[in-house]
Structure 1
Amino acid sequence: MKNIYILIFEDVVLSSAAAPLDILTRTNAILESAGRPPAFRVELVSEKVKNIHLSDPAQFNCQRTLAEVPAKSSGHNSPLIIVPAFSGDWDSVFAKNRAVVEWLKQHYAVGTEIASLCLGSYFLAEAGLLKGKPCTSHWRAIDDMRERFPDIQMQGDFVVTDRDGTYTGGGAFSSLNLVLYLVEKFCGHDIGVQVSKNFSIHRDHINQAHFSVFRGLNQHGDTLVLKAQTYIEENFQNEPSVEQVAAIVNMSKRNFIRRFKQATQYTPLAYIQKVKIEEAKNRLEHSHQSIQSLMYDVGYNDNKTFRDIFKRMTGVTPQAYRKKYGRANLAV
């Protein structure tokens, strides 16, 4: 039986802690109904006190404190710690939970596996557990995490990552795919499918890009790059070239590309594509404009190119995106 500890703290997101508890205990029930032993012993742990009052009108009664779960080697059947998402800003949350970060370091050092759901990835990154490894999180946090933790490989479009005993899950409820992934990994494919069906959760371990809303990083303080970003955002339909944008800010192409990427984390060409695809997503959501017409309006002339870039950036085709998010009640 695998020991699983779900970390509880006062800023925890209620659903991010309660949902894995529900899924894992239900998995045990499904196994037992099939005449098989339960797979998990699930306990809630907190830093000092066992009764944690959340900012929401809820509280958790934890079975153990961190001190009661010492870091020690457990051989091949290592425990798993699940770190849920938090609400608020990371600096404030970290200031209150430094002991948690140190506890995670100690446990990982002796072989404990660590998983994060949504923004819980900040805890793993701060503990140094993700250096050189792929990581995902809520799509809103990707740029901030890249800036804070440049030594990790942010994979913002991923729903699940798994590397060397660390796991990270995507944003909000998409992170439940990580819980399903862990159920399948430890209990087998058949149980994973049964649990997925039981909770009516679509098993998609691949991509969360279609959830994201692109907002270019603009807190960098480089006024010339900000000028270039504004020009791109106001003129993307005209397909501006990198040379044209560089000329607007009076830079050489080479220097402009270097400086733009340093400030925004994107090359100018990637930024132009991001802006164009974000406008396409907005039109697919809010209008019945034909995809062909929409394609021309956002600055593409070739249907295959548009479709390929859209799918690469969002994980779905334009048609599939409209089906998921379009306003079906609009008059044609």
Structure 2
Amino acid sequence: MKHISIIIPRGHTSVVNIEGTHQLLASVNDLLLKKGKAPIFDIQLVGISRETTLVPGLYTVKPDRLIGEVRKTDMIIIPAVHGDPQAAVADNYEFIPWIVEQYKSGCEVVSLCVGAFFLASTGLLDGKQCATHWMFANEFRNMFPQVHLVDDKIMTEEQGIYTSGGAYSYPNLILYLIEKFAGREIAILTSKTFMIDIDRESQSPFIMFQGQRSHEDDLIKKAQDYIEDNFQEKITVNELADMLALGRRSLERRFKKATCNTVTEYIQRVKIEAAKKSFETSRKNINEVMYDVGYTDTKAFRTVFKKITNLSPVEYKNKYNREAAFA
């Protein structure tokens, strides 16, 4: 039987992650029992105090065990911990050496959503791929540059460490783990029971590009303003460099450092975000929207749109435009 430790951090922790994960894994045991098979998960809530108050003052959780009572576990699951990541680490520091020790002893470790910040604080993610909520991607990159963040992915797996994307994408990672340890049949049964879309791999369709402005380079902010105010036009890197009286290489270097995007990537993302909003709210066809955001090459527009959203323009419009869905 695989021992699962769902940790209960102090602070504004996701009760949904805790209860939902427990429910999904427990349901696997129930399904196996109905099939005349032995359960495979021994699930426990593990904390650093006998009572832990979550979502400040709203819920109180009583863990099954304290970390000092768990000598060996097979998998640690870290729920999302909201608020200031550094404060969350300080409030829950006792978990860190325990998680590291368990990992070194062969335990696998899972983080859900922004639980990736806490996991990264252990150092176990250094040099590895990681997913987290797309809204916090830039903050994560700034805090943990040694981690390879893939903000379009719903989940990652590398050397016994698993991470999930934002918010309610965590069931997809739990289903992946269920399939890995209980088999495809049980994973499909679980997905049908809880009506979870199995095999979903990308959070790209949900990403809303809002521009990365948590930096102090005023010249780059001026470039961002120009791009966002003139996305309907064809904007070139050389044009921006001339406008800012910078060399092209200097502009590219400073822009990448400030925004985590190249100038070209930023222009593309601003244009595609405008296209997405148009598809969601207007009756315009693909070509009309394409021209509105400054593209004249249909193939180029479709290629960039698919790269950023993981959906074709038609698929996106059909998914998010109510009139298109019922046409």
**CA deviation map 1:217-262 (0-9, x unaligned):** 1121111111111111111211100100111111111111111111
Contact 2:141 2:149 in 1 (8 A): yes
Q: The residue matched to 1:219 in structure 2 has which SS?
A: coil
Task: State the alpha-carbon separation in 1 of the partners of residues 282 and 78 from structure 2.
Answer: 40
Q: The residue matched to 2:114 in structure 1 has which SS?
A: helix
**CA deviation map 1:114-139 (0-9, x unaligned):** 00111111111110111111100111
Hey, what does 1:33 align to over in structure 2? Answer: 34
Hey, what does 2:7 align to over in structure 1? Answer: 7
Structure 1 residue 102, shift from structure 2 partner: 2.5
Structure 1 residue 52, shift from structure 2 partner: 3.9
Hey, what does 2:317 align to over in structure 1? Answer: 322
Task: State the alpha-carbon separation in 1 of the partners of residues 262 and 218 from structure 2.
Answer: 17
Q: CA RMSD in A?
A: 1.8
Hey, what does 1:60 align to over in structure 2? Answer: 61
1:286 aligns with 2:281: yes
1:171 aligns with 2:166: yes
2:88 counterpart (81, 89, 93): 93
Hey, what does 1:46 align to over in structure 2? Answer: 47
Hey, what does 1:227 align to over in structure 2? Answer: 222
Q: The residue matched to 2:109 in structure 1 has which SS?
A: strand
Task: State the alpha-carbon separation in 1 of the partners of residues 326 and 294 from structure 2.
Answer: 26
- One-letter amino acid of the structure 2 residue matched with residue 161 of structure 1: T
Gaps of 5+ in 2: none
Q: The residue matched to 1:162 in structure 2 has which SS?
A: strand
Gaps of 5+ in 1: 73-77
CA distance 1:53–1:263, shift in 2 (3 Å): closer
Structure 1 residue 53, shift from structure 2 partner: 4.6
Contact 1:50 1:63 in 2 (8 A): no
**CA deviation map 1:133-174 (0-9, x unaligned):** 110011111111111101111010001101001000111111
Tell me the matched-pair count. 326
Q: The residue matched to 1:237 in structure 2 has which SS?
A: coil
2:105 counterpart (91, 103, 110): 110
**CA deviation map 1:82-132 (0-9, x unaligned):** 001122221221221111222212211211100011111111111011111
Q: The residue matched to 2:251 in structure 1 has which SS?
A: helix
Structure 1 residue 323, shift from structure 2 partner: 2.1
Task: State the alpha-carbon separation in 2 of the partners of residues 49 and 224 from structure 1.
Answer: 52
CA distance 1:204–1:89, shift in 2 (3 Å): farther
Hey, what does 1:191 align to over in structure 2? Answer: 186
- One-letter amino acid of the structure 1 residue matched with residue 79 of structure 2: P
**CA deviation map 1:286-327 (0-9, x unaligned):** 212112100111111122211111111111112222222224
Contact 2:272 2:305 in 1 (8 A): yes
- One-letter amino acid of the structure 1 residue matched with residue 66 of structure 2: T
Contact 2:317 2:324 in 1 (8 A): no
- One-letter amino acid of the structure 2 residue matched with residue 12 of structure 1: T
Structure 1 residue 58, shift from structure 2 partner: 2.6
**CA deviation map 1:158-210 (0-9, x unaligned):** 01101001000111111210000000001111111111111100013421011
Task: State the alpha-carbon separation in 2 of the partners of residues 38 and 197 from structure 1.
Answer: 19
Instruction: Tell me the percent identity.
Output: 39
Task: State the alpha-carbon separation in 1 of the partners of residues 264 and 231 from structure 2.
Answer: 11
Hey, what does 1:75 align to over in structure 2? Answer: none
* Further displaced range: 103-112 or 12-21: 103-112
CA distance 1:124–1:41, shift in 2 (3 Å): same
Q: The residue matched to 1:6 in structure 2 has which SS?
A: strand
1:201 aligns with 2:202: no
1:122 aligns with 2:117: yes
Q: The residue matched to 1:4 in structure 2 has which SS?
A: strand
Task: State the alpha-carbon separation in 2 of the partners of residues 207 and 63 from structure 1.
Answer: 34
**CA deviation map 1:63-91 (0-9, x unaligned):** 00111113x5xxxxx60010011222212
* Further displaced range: 318-327 or 187-196: 318-327
* Further displaced range: 23-32 or 215-224: 215-224
Task: State the alpha-carbon separation in 2 of the partners of residues 219 and 59 from structure 1.
Answer: 35
- One-letter amino acid of the structure 2 residue matched with residue 33 of structure 1: K
Q: The residue matched to 2:213 in structure 1 has which SS?
A: coil
Q: The residue matched to 1:328 in structure 2 has which SS?
A: helix
Contact 2:15 2:54 in 1 (8 A): no
* Further displaced range: 313-322 or 145-154: 313-322
